Amino acid sequence: TMLTIIQLMLLVFLTNPNHAEKLFHNRDHSDMQIPTSHQAPVITDEYEAELFLSRYGFIKPTQREEIQMKQSGISFSDDFLDDFQTAIQEGTSVPLSRDIPKTSHGEVHKSESESQAFVSALKEFQMASGLPVTGVFDDATKDAMNKPRCGVPDKETDPNPHVVTESHIGGSELENSWNETFDEADGNNTESSINRRGHLADLVSKKRQKRDLTESGYMAFSKDVLRWRLIGEGYSSQLTVDEQRYIFRLAFRMWSEVSPLEFVEDTWSPLEDVDIKLGFGTGRHLGCNQKFDGTGQEFAHAWFLGDIHFDDDEHFTGPSSHTGISLLKVAVHEIGHVLGLPHIYRPGSIMQPSYLPHESSFEMDWMDRKAIQHLYAGGCKGRFSTVFDWIRKEKTPYGDVKIRFNTYFMRDGWYWLYENRNNRTRYGDPVALQIGWHGIPSDGVDAYVHVWSRRREAVYFFKGLQFWRYDSENDRVFRHDSEGRRYPRLISEGFPGIPSPIDSAFYDRRDSHIYFFRRAQVYAFSVETNSLASGFPKHIRDVFPPVESGDHPDGSIDAAYFSYSHNALFLLKGTRFWRVVGSRERWRRPFLPRNGLMPHKEVDQQWFDICDVHPTSLKL
């Protein structure tokens, strides 16, 4: 009898090969064919439409659905991940049972209240999708429902009354999907239950990262450095492992570039110590309590402060591909969910639920940046060693000479190019100094000075006891000066009377003096006479008095920066800056002192998104 049962099971297995996941493919994937059984069901009628609306939170579960679930005889007590349900539970909506009677036209028999709820949900979906709001299941609505999309519900009932469900960030309402409970998974699992579940149970953290509430009441990670891993059991069958890891590193870096968070790929720690785990699977996958639907529609799902799963039946491609679904764009979207962002129905947002074909250079827009910063203590803060506008001459295709400038912030051997017209850093920054600035110290500089007068123009970098002259036309340091003396040279030789090292410096075109800062002293150096100006050094408060008593950096500034964009001089120290009163401002307000320092402001409120990334991802 036992042999007969085994033979029967073997026969069923052999005659149903599509139910098993293929473990190996040809190296070039030429043998990969997606069977029709792995195609997501197409939404064609109101019945499937109602399932869709229920699945993604537009229709709340009804009492009838709950009764049918109880009467179905389905028990989850034998589920090998039942102890982890609290940790991986995504939402509270319950899909309609497929046992609901349908008419010959595919329509569902509904009560009047249910029909009204369906129409209302349909209108809400149409409005969110930018469709004509008709309440009718028309072709446009059908097409929108069949588009590839994220598996995270757009709207969910929040079981935790302490979680705020709406937000207004920059005048744009975030969708009410802030929907995670704060219950921890039960850590009191017995050894036998762990063994019974096998290695798949390890794919879900038994000790979930502590949920935290921000001051505004939203969920966020309680630390700034987060660890992630592409789990070995969840590699994609369509891209090489190196390609997958590179894409995920880039996706995490894109969030790090616009937030105070840093991400590090962790391939060595115990799995339960990893904050975010990523993996690919098909159908029932990775011990997850949600099933993927095959090719089309849902391509991934994620949990707030949790993990990310990708449907390997989808045709994921790399960033440079113009076909398939961009794994980078999907990963950036799902990471946004893990960090706490809901779906956002706004053109251009990376958090839109439906996948939109894109150019390879997609980036997060202003509102997405502000949304993540709202969750994580505002903008990025930190002190800078040097800030300056690099001015250079460029020839147009017609031979005309144009004078252009770019703004640079430098710190710890890395720099950001700041785009003043866009109020943000250049996409992909920071970059290593040695890549963009050839010949200056790779670990950073103390000051930048651009001497610019009718008779002379020179650019200098200062570091420690030395200085370099920079050739802006050829974008590298000069090897030697006009008299054959090699760079770098000693500051004491090139600028007699100036001590070293210095804190910062700038050139004032009004009087042709370089102002050097060292601790609480200011040294004015005459470019014309190549000597220290009479009466200097002076105390910094005597040269730059406070407009408001007590509001002053009091020496040891980090950077003195003249901005051509703002036509103003700024002194930076720590995370603050002080704007220096200009000549025109004194003409309008003569009571202001010469070179007075206006009350301080925060650097990140004037120059946005100058964010660090983890050292392991700096070279991407």
Q: Which residues are catalytically annotated?
A: 334
According to DSSP, residue 199 is labeled: G
Q: Which residues contact 4 (CB under 8 A, 6 or more apart)?
A: none
d(CA 601, CA 372): 22
The SS3 of residue 513 is strand
Place of tokens 């449907």: 311
Q: Which two tokens stand for residue 513?
A: 């003096």
User: Does residue 403 contact residue 393 with C-beta atoms inside 8 Å?
Assistant: yes
309 annotated as ligand-binding: yes
481 annotated as ligand-binding: no
Dihedral sign computed on CA atoms, order 431, 437, 438, 443: negative
d(CA 119, CA 402): 60
505 annotated as ligand-binding: yes
Residue type, 114: E
337 annotated as ligand-binding: yes
Q: Where are the beta strands (DSSP E) in 224-336?
A: 225-230, 262-265, 276-281, 298-302, 308-311, 316-317, 325-326
d(CA 463, CA 458): 17
293 annotated as ligand-binding: yes
d(CA 138, CA 526): 77
Residue type, 456: R
351 annotated as ligand-binding: yes
d(CA 578, CA 550): 13
Residue type, 315: H
Backbone angles phi, psi at 509, to 5 degrees: -70, -20
443 annotated as ligand-binding: no
Among 501, 498, 503, 495, smallest CA distance to 559 is for 503
185 annotated as ligand-binding: no
31 annotated as ligand-binding: no
Count H helices and E strands in the chain, helices first.
14, 31
The SS3 of residue 176 is coil
Place of tokens 């930076």: 572
311 annotated as ligand-binding: yes
Please list the residues that pair with 457 across neighbouring strands.
Answer: 452
301 annotated as ligand-binding: yes
609 annotated as ligand-binding: no
Residue 484: is it exposed, middle or buried by C-beta count within 10 angstroms (0-12/13-18/19+)? exposed
471 annotated as ligand-binding: no
Residue type, 362: F
Annotated binding site: 275, 285, 293-294, 301, 307, 309, 311-312, 314, 333, 337, 343, 351, 446, 505, 558
Annotated binding site for Ca(2+): 275, 293-294, 307, 311-312, 314, 446, 505, 558
Annotated binding site for Zn(2+): 285, 301, 309, 333, 337, 343, 351
